[in-house]
Amino acid sequence: MDIGTSKILGGIGALLMFVGFIPGVPVYGGLPLIGLILVLAALWGLAGYYTDAGIFNNALIGSIAGVAGILVFVAVVLLAAVGFVSTIVPGWNGNWASLSNINPGDIRANITLENIGPFLATILLAVVILFLVLVAVAYFYRKSLRLLADKTGVGMFRTTGTLLLVGAVLTIILIGIILIWIAMLLLAIAFFSIRTQQPPPPTAAPTQATPQV
């Protein structure tokens, strides 16, 4: 893949990720995923162009960690929910539709601190896992973007990587989500700032022949 194609794919992918997180945008859930795939494709192309596998490998590790973390988070939440419902609805057969036939008064009677405590603790554990995974994803993407900044000479990649990591850490106070969103826009700008005409490598100065005595 040539550098021009990688530049366009990365820029468009980052823009899709940026726009996809705006509430009310059609295909809200699909745009970030499509954008991520395009960005990974761009990083793969640039890694080959600059012969630096770390540009793509770090981003790939971060993406795999993110997908695995989300799956673990969902699994833990579902298991916690099933366990909680089984506790407050004795004899529940696992059919969620059957809960509509149960008397709400009987459920409220079983919602005690002793029953709800383990459920809340498990949910908190799932949130902590998701937070740590998000920080890990941002860390690996920062490594990838720092390498890309060194190769392309576009300092915006380094700024984007730092903003991603700071945003991931600050998601505990929600402002981090806004920082990550802004980082997507900066990433698009960085991709579109890549020069397709790369400067030629420096040539060594000719050496003068040593006069023979």
- pLDDT-based confidence at residue 207 (cuts at 50, 70, 90): very low
The mean pLDDT value for 11-37 works out to: 79
3-class SS letters over 4-22: HHHHHHHHHHHHHHHHHCC
Question: Cβ distance 16 to 38 under 8 Å?
Answer: yes
Confidence at residue 209, expressed as pLDDT on a 0 to 100 scale: 47
What pLDDT is stored for residue 104 in this prediction? Answer: 58
**Residue 155 and residue 161: Cα distance in Å, rounded?**
10
Identify residue 131 by its one-letter amino acid code. Answer: F
Above pLDDT 90, what percent of the chain? Answer: 53
CA 186 from chain center: how many Å?
Answer: 15
Question: Given this model, what pLDDT does residue 28 score?
Answer: 52
What average pLDDT score do residues 38-63 get? 94
The reported pLDDT for the residue numbered 138 is 95
**Count of CB atoms within 10 A of residue 192's CB?**
16
pLDDT tens for each residue of 73-107: 999 888 888 777 776 666 555 555 555 556 555 56
CA dist 79 → 32, 55, 70, 99, 122 (Å): 27, 37, 14, 17, 9
Amino acid at 73: F
pTM above 0.85, yes or no: no
Tens digit of pLDDT for each residue in 144-167? 999 999 999 999 999 999 999 999
